[in-house]
Structure 1
Amino acid sequence: SSGPPPLLALRLFCGAGDSENLLLGGARARVSRRPKAMASAHPSQGLPSGMDPSMVDEYASQSKLLQEFVKIPSIGKAWVFTSKDENASRAMVSVSQSDLLANKKRSFLLNTHISKSSSKSVSFQWSPFPVEMSGVSAVVPSPSGKKLLLVRNAEDDDSPTKLEIWGPCQLENEIHVARSVHGSLYADGWFEGISWNQEETLIAYVAEEPPQPKPEFNDSGYKKEGSSQKDFRSWKGQGDIEDSWGETYSNKRIPALFVANISSGEVRALKGIPRSLSAGQVIWAPSSSYSLVFVAWSDDNGFQETPRKLGIKYCYNRPCALYAAADPFKEEADKPSTDSNKGDTAALVKLTADLSSAFFPRFSPDGKYLVFISAKSAVDSGAHNATNSMHKIDWPTDGKLEGSLSVSDVVPTVMSPQDGCFPGMYCSGLLRFPWLSDGRTMILSSAWGSKEVILSINVASGEVSRVSPQDSDYSWNVLALDNNNILAVSSSLVTLPQMYYGFEDSHTDKPCQWDWQEISSPFPKPSDKQVSSLLADHKFSVIKIPVSNPSDKLPDGAKLPFEAIFVSGKDSASSPTIVVLHGGPHSVYPSSYSRSLAFLYAQGYNLLVVNYRGSLGFGEEALQSLPGNIGSQDVNDVLTALDFVKKRGLIDASRVAVVGGSHGGFLTTHLIGQAPETFVAAAARNPVCNLQLMVGTTDIPDWCFLEVYGKEGKNCFTESPLADTLTQFYQKSPISHISKRLRHQHSFFSEQKISVFLFLMAYSMQGL
């Protein structure tokens, strides 16, 4: 046939644990956008059933390309250890690499010596080889950097959890914690909390509570009293059902707090926490009668009462508060005990009674302030994520927590940002020690539109400054602090992650100016020269998209432009384009490197990554404009962004595909239902296609009510929705477009597009 072939398929790599997802679009013609140089792989023998022999070279080439991208390591965390010599320090960097064939992620540590000169130059001397952290769940250095905790969670129900305490040259102690004391430590990034005290004698952490004893019954069915004797005529029950926090937590028990004495190896539980609270993110307080501060999430989910816990994964709208309690060793420091459950605990003190959300607590170096992040905008509105705020508590100098504590705002919620100005906080984590030497300035990473940036926040004045380069569309993340200097990583959709070292520029009149020096990387460039060439041949830009026909009823912040990231090669106008949509919907697709997207554009596709209104990073009014308008406002934003690049001749409008997962899958199926003539292929991963069915099967039914009804969803939420509610859910769902599109198939659908739409609907319903 003449002219360029239509787009046939989207092949997506999703990382270890979900190796690949492949959904096909139209089926008449084959397209190969891969570079010819990549087509030299040898076809494999013994084809799988159903594989077209003519596609063998294509699959072999894509497999080779995929494995080359998978080889590229990812930078995770870093720790810097200072010394008496201000010009020298050490660092440890955590790196991971996916093993595609084994379907797992491998983690390892790299060590380096940092040398600084007075001319603000820096050099890194890396260790020759990394050390693999096989079987290690968490790595936590002590405050001085002289000790290192390695956590090895139990591999099965009969094995203990191991806490290894390492010194500079040897293993100093190994604590085996039996399952009767606690289960695995939480290493999930949310409940997770592992904290050394300042004296480096105790470690507080979050772990699964020990399993509850299971009841035994005799052969007549009556419950037996506890007995150590084995009775072969008895049988053991399962015990009371235990609620979980939903997705990824279904097999985990309630998180609880424990303290380990690294010298004696004794472990004690923190008593007095009600089972209605799930504890996490524990830290040590300055010297006082209340030694520990932690976050606790209530079983109350923030909506109407439900007979179960709702899911918490990606759900910042679950109410939580800060609490203080005494160290279980404190009152019995001179009374050694082998019983892990001994130790009286003072009553809990709720520190943030007037706030619906408080997490990521950090004490200032002088102990005067307890600073924390709040997602009260999410809790109060019901949106699963929203604009954060920062607050502080004036910690009493005598350590006595009597009466009400003073909580003040540091960074309030930003509703409608001015053009180019701070859009609000969107913080998914804090460094264990985020302070510059003045003891008042915190360094953290946050979303800023379609970019991730590094911010400095003065907790005394509330001043917020952007530390990462102002004129850069790259994404930046802070890894660690080296006194007043910053170790960071920067990347873009077309640039591999690169580490940088930042010096504050004191020779300029402009506030908060930083000099960033690229660090000599220990990572070799991709071994396949073609991969490097493919990355170099592409460019990206962040495009501001004006809102199409904004309603007068919208708040000002919801009328501001949203953004899209356009990735293209040298001949973008004649290349097929994939529209990429994030889930959430209250999340964001940043401009940082993504190997799944790199794998796509390396095969010759343009990418249009749309951060529609409702995404993080654009202020609270824009975000809150989406609940109640899903399936219409977000769909229109995507089509508006697509029209924007079409009108400028940047893409071939006849070859456009769309892909998304979760809410991105919701949008994908809505788009091929509402605008089928626009797309020639679609791929949806775990899409939300039928809210009417989803509400009764999901661990987050509140999401359905909030996103369909807006703020009113909090008031009308119920676990037993009425018929009218279910009808409304159906009307908001992509599946509602099937019947009308089938009736008008000759006008709107080709036979192939109908089959794609039906397949995606069936895929969604099967998943439910």
Structure 2
Amino acid sequence: MSKEFENVIRLYKNFSKVPSIVGAHLSRDTSRVTVKWTVRSTDRGKNTRFVSSYILNDSLKVIADCGFGTDISNELLSAVSPNETYRAVIREERNQKDLKKQYLEVWSKNHLAHCIDLNALDLHGDVYADSEFGCLNWSQDESAIVYVAEKKLAKAEPYIVRKPAETPKSDSKETPRKGEEYIYRQDWGEQLVGKHASVIVVCKIESESFTVLDGLPEDWCPGQVRFTLDGKSVIGIAWSTEPRRLGLIFCTNRPGHVFTLSLEDDKALSRLSPEGMSVRAARLSPRGAPVWLQRVARGPHHAGHQLVTGNIAEAPLTVIVDLVQTVTRTDDGRDFHGIYSQSLPARCFSKDGKRIVFSTPQKNEIRSYVVDIESGGMVDVSIRRAAGSTSVLDVHDDVILAAHSSLTSPSQLYVARLPARGSEAEVEWMPVTSQPEVPAGLARSEVTYLQLEHADCADPVKSFSAIYLSPSVQGGSKLPLLVWPHGGPHSNFTNSYSFEAAFFNDLGMATLLVNYRGSTGSGEASVASLISNVGNYDVRDCHLALETVLEKDARLSGTVFLKGGSYGGLVVAHLAGRFPDLFRATVMRNPLIDLATKGHYADNLDGCAVEAGFPFTEEGPPSEEQLLAMRRCSPLVHAHKVKAPTALMLGSADKRVPHYQGLEYARRLKANGVATRVYLYDDNHSLSSPLVEMDNLINAALWFLKHLDQ
């Protein structure tokens, strides 16, 4: 084993030991903080999730660390009851035959009060624990919990089937449906495979009785459900399933509804949100007022959201925070570009219910804000001890928990007391957890924000941003440069901790993270500007950012690598084909190579038409004009010009960009004499399962190092 190879393995192992905060919860009296973490476990081949606890005094200072962490890896969902009498857990276990079992557990302070085998009940399929549908919520009186699960599939049998001569009597009212065994059932696509139709389930704790709620239209798929304050209804989000299900994860443009459903005998259903909207994160204030995020249910997969409150059946909605075209100013004089978060904290209100605390990407950082519901006034309350990103995790009794991190420092938890109305800018943050240790090289690295603009340009939007992460160098050492455009395309890079960026940084590579035009966090005008300009604005922006850092940083050697996944792979493939002599080597993860053919198979095929500048429709005859437009803006048309050795990391279970795209690209590169290697994993679009992530990141590093001096 070479010394170079050993160094890559060593660095990966070192960074895999750094835990990340994924959640935090305040106790009822705000004296105790429970923190949820995740950390890679390379020997086990899986991520370990664990919790740790801390005791705070009245000044919110940590006075006790409650010992070692507790492994919660087999907990899908958990929720503490309002008075902290109980803790509910949805637990998943597998037996020796690898058969999955799910249990509902209810713990009191001193013992396990209830343990119910959900599979044995046979009322529904798997409980949903994903970020789109998943929920576990207590009623205020602590008598019931509500969650969402897969709807039980009706039994089916062949048209001709031999049955016993004497059929035993059965209490089952379900008659198998003949000839329906092979009816195709759509699911919700990437990372939601197997989730077809959801149901709301209410469990009465004392009697251990379960009710699968009816009363919703057949073409509604509910999720994110919680009890109303009186416990007589539930409120949630429902996505429309007709005329078809399109991929939901990372796609905030799917039509849906905010609804309330009565638990009484009348099963009264009310729709709170207007038609034609995509909605998310319905929350109830301490006063019972509903609040949610919404945007128009069409256009790019992700864009800005309004923060609204009200009931469309009673009066027009009140817009608390509106869309922002370019930039506006907060009450404390800071730039604000709109809301681009995909959710709100589960608890996000001040004690009196008059203010909301939330976080959202803003250009190069995640920023946190307090918004006055009545006036719409907004104050930036982000942690400012160092540059980085602040994400609010929990708000209770006017105490806020937030995680702060940067590209050079992993997650650290902070706590603050929410100041009185009008004084929010005076917020004082105090650390709860210590900062995890990282290799010294990363801590010495520098993060620079670049605000770039095309000169002498007639484009309606000319500016964009980038983040430049550069390691510390000794003596006259020179640095190779890794150019890395993000996927999406409507997402963005922020100055927050990234395992991947840290790994390549400690390998001695400077990294240029480009938020090209079309990225979120910079206003709606920027998001919309990329439409019809795919393969144009994004490529020109990356090229300008590359030229800028090569000119400004004399430590760069001139060796430039390309790295990108999904839509970032599209940008990388364009750059490699249009500037073939600029780049030494390329690594792509599930790259989008051809919009025209991706649209036939992907779970989010609407994006191919939208990004090419056409409204998405499957009605009427196929349009040759649209197919040609999608092909012309695809990097496939430049594949024959590529010179840089290229490694492709593909997922055979990818529903977002089918792996056939990467295979076709690899065949064309090989046919033109380009050194090419393909890795095919039994994984989905993100390639984030632990063993797959380890293999593709280490192989990416070795690919770059192999071609460093060639």
Tell me the TM-score normalized by structure 1: 0.78
Residue 443 of structure 1 corresponds to 357
* CA pair 612-388 structure 1, distance change in 2 beyond 3 A: same
Which of 65, 69, 82 is residue 28 of structure 2 equivalent to? 82
Whole-Å separation in 1 of the counterparts to 2:470 and 2:372 = 36
Residue 636 of structure 2 corresponds to 735
5 Å-filtered alignment, 1:698-737, equals: 698-709=602-613, 712-714=614-616, 721-737=622-638
Q: Displacement, 1:676? A: 1.4
Helix, strand or coil at the partner of 2:26: strand
Q: Which has the higher strand share?
A: 2
Which of 192, 205, 213 is residue 147 of structure 2 equivalent to? 205
Which of 442, 457, 471 is residue 568 of structure 1 equivalent to? 471
5 Å-filtered alignment, 1:103-502, equals: 103-117=45-59, 122-153=61-92, 155=94, 161-177=102-118, 178=120, 180-218=122-160, 238-287=181-230, 291-300=233-242, 305=243, 308-327=244-263, 330=264, 344-354=265-275, 356-367=277-288, 369-376=289-296, 379-380=297-298, 382-393=299-310, 404-418=314-328, 420-469=334-383, 472-502=386-416
Tell whether the 8 Å contact from 2:518 to 2:527 is kept in structure 1 after alignment.
Answer: yes
Helix, strand or coil at the partner of 1:724: helix
Tell whether the 8 Å contact from 2:348 to 2:357 is kept in structure 1 after alignment.
Answer: yes
Unpaired runs of at least 5, structure 2: 172-176, 644-667, 686-710
Residue 519 of structure 1 corresponds to 432
Pair member with larger Rg: 1
* CA pair 251-79 structure 1, distance change in 2 beyond 3 A: same
Which of 478, 482, 505 is residue 578 of structure 1 equivalent to? 482
Q: Displacement, 1:721? A: 3.4
5 Å-filtered alignment, 1:524-535, equals: 525=437, 531=439, 533-535=440-442
Which of 449, 471, 495 is residue 591 of structure 1 equivalent to? 495
Residue 690 of structure 2 corresponds to none
Q: Displacement, 1:504? A: 4.5
Q: Displacement, 1:650? A: 4.4
Residue 4 of structure 2 corresponds to 58
Q: Displacement, 1:708? A: 1.0
Helix, strand or coil at the partner of 1:589: coil
* CA pair 660-720 structure 1, distance change in 2 beyond 3 A: farther
* Structure 2 residue identity aligned to 1:596: E
* CA pair 347-155 structure 1, distance change in 2 beyond 3 A: farther
* CA pair 568-545 structure 1, distance change in 2 beyond 3 A: farther
2:575 matched to 1:645? no
* CA pair 312-725 structure 1, distance change in 2 beyond 3 A: same
Tell whether the 8 Å contact from 1:540 to 1:568 is kept in structure 2 after alignment.
Answer: no
Q: Displacement, 1:247? A: 1.3
Tell whether the 8 Å contact from 2:124 to 2:149 is kept in structure 1 after alignment.
Answer: yes
Residue 627 of structure 1 corresponds to 531
5 Å-filtered alignment, 1:595-674, equals: 595-652=499-556, 654-674=558-578
CA distances 1:190-211 after superposition (whole Å, capped 9, x unpaired)? 1112211100111111111112
Whole-Å separation in 2 of the counterparts to 1:280 and 1:421 = 34
Whole-Å separation in 1 of the counterparts to 2:51 and 2:320 = 36
Unpaired runs of at least 5, structure 1: 1-42, 44-55, 331-343, 395-400, 743-750
* CA pair 317-509 structure 1, distance change in 2 beyond 3 A: closer
* Structure 2 residue identity aligned to 1:310: L
Helix, strand or coil at the partner of 2:257: strand
Identity of aligned residues (%): 26
Q: Displacement, 1:536? A: 2.2
* Structure 1 residue identity aligned to 2:71: E
Q: Displacement, 1:185? A: 1.4
Tell whether the 8 Å contact from 2:578 to 2:641 is kept in structure 1 after alignment.
Answer: no
Tell whether the 8 Å contact from 2:253 to 2:301 is kept in structure 1 after alignment.
Answer: yes
Tell whether the 8 Å contact from 2:577 to 2:641 is kept in structure 1 after alignment.
Answer: no
* Structure 2 residue identity aligned to 1:170: H
Residue 559 of structure 1 corresponds to 462
* Structure 2 residue identity aligned to 1:480: D
* CA pair 471-424 structure 1, distance change in 2 beyond 3 A: farther
Whole-Å separation in 2 of the counterparts to 1:737 and 1:150 = 52
Tell whether the 8 Å contact from 2:487 to 2:568 is kept in structure 1 after alignment.
Answer: yes
Tell whether the 8 Å contact from 2:479 to 2:508 is kept in structure 1 after alignment.
Answer: yes
Helix, strand or coil at the partner of 2:491: coil
Q: Displacement, 1:265? A: 0.7
Helix, strand or coil at the partner of 2:574: helix
Q: Displacement, 1:70? A: 0.5
Count residues in correspondence: 645
